[in-house]
Structures are given as C-alpha cells and as structure tokens.
Amino acid sequence: MRVESGHGTTIWRVDRWDEDQTAWVRRRTGLVAPTGADFLRLGVRPYSTTEVHGNLITNAGWTRLMNLLTGGSGQALDATHTRIGVGNGTAAESYTDTDLAGGSKWFQPVSAAGTLGTRTLTFTATFGASDGNFAWNEFGIDVTSGTASAGATVGALLFNRKAGINQGTKASGQTWTATATITWT
C-alpha cells in the first residue's frame, strides 16, 4: 500500500551587515534604508550568513492554501500583502499559532513578489537599522488584509512559524535580510 503525503518546509536564511557596512552603503547610494540587494550590488558581503531549516504551517495557513487551490476566497501571498516576521519568543510552534510568541516582534513587508521556482516560493524582507532590534528566536510569514506595512502586530493570518532559531541579537544600526524559501513535496 502506498501512502501519499505532502508538506511544505522552509529554509530561512539571514544575511547580516554591521553598522559600518550599513553606513557605507547609505553614503554610497544615498538610500536611507538600503536592501540586501543594494549591499550585494555594491559588492558588500554580509559579515555573517546562517540558515535554519523547517517550519510549521499553521491551521490558518493550510486553510488559506486549500481555499486558494479550490477557487475559494482569501488573499494570496503576494508582494503587497506578505511580510516576514521575527520575534524573541521561545515557545514551540503549534498548528494553532495565530501570532509570533515573543514579547518583542517585528513584521517587515517583503521586497518583491514571491519568486516562484519548481515547487518553491521565496520571499525576502530587509530589516533596516531600527527594525527588529532584539534577539531573533522565531520566524513567521503573515498575510495582511490591506497593503502590508512594517509593524509589531500580526496581519490577517500567520501562515507559518519556526521557533528555536537562535539567530543572535540584531543591534541598532545593523541591516539584516531574512529570506524564506518554502519547498513543497
């Protein structure tokens, strides 16, 4: 007997640029909030890059997927309505999660529409000098009902969550870019 299953897993990558690198790119480009792409375009490599594997798609996330697959209603995960969130929470993830668990959290709009590949969907968000300056212990992707803007409140639904990531503490003045690549199997 053949058992079939499907799941989505995420590789979360964090690229980090320190305060001096951020200041240099700001001076060079004139941008107040340079993105990861701006650093890379200028040949400024991150001082650190890490990857975390795994996530849990929440009940709300699965419901949204099923609604979209069957022609039901619901906002798609697009550049206008999708954000990557980080928090300092350490509680294990659960299918019933509706928000990140931490007392400190920050959701940043993704920089472009999700990049589609074979069975993959990739989102990237840049956390600028004053965004998300606390210990990064959890990640999540949320979907907003209106136009996505940065903030500490979860949107209409939390799509997925990964806890126990221990990425260190982002300091004021630094720029960190979080990339989530979801693979469906």
pLDDT for 74: 85
Residue 2 inside a domain? The answer is no
CA trace torsion 105, 122, 48, 168 (10° rounding) = 20
Beta carbons of 167 and 16 less than 8 angstroms apart:
no
Tens-level pLDDT at each residue, the chain (185 residues): 777 777 778 999 999 999 999 999 999 999 999 999 999 999 999 999 999 999 999 999 989 988 888 888 888 888 899 999 999 999 999 999 999 999 999 999 998 766 676 788 899 999 999 999 999 999 999 999 888 899 999 988 999 999 999 999 999 999 999 999 988 88
pTM above 0.85, yes or no: yes
Residue 128 inside a domain? The answer is yes
Pairing of strands 157-163, 120-127: unpaired
pLDDT for 77: 85
Backbone angles phi, psi at 65, to 5 degrees: -60, -45
CA trace torsion 20, 106, 80, 98 (10° rounding) = 150
Q: 71: Cβ–Cβ under 8 A, 6 or more apart, which residues?
A: none
In total, how many domains does the chain have?
A: 1
Residue 21 inside a domain? The answer is yes
Residue 147 inside a domain? The answer is yes
Residue 137 inside a domain? The answer is yes
Residue 170 inside a domain? The answer is yes
Residue-number span of the structural domain to which 94 is assigned: 8-184
Residue 3 inside a domain? The answer is no
Question: Which two three-digit tokens encode residue 19?
Answer: 């305060």
| Sole residue written with tokens 């928000």 | 99
Give dist(CA 23, CA 32) in Å, integer. Answer: 9
Give dist(CA 90, CA 45) in Å, integer. Answer: 30
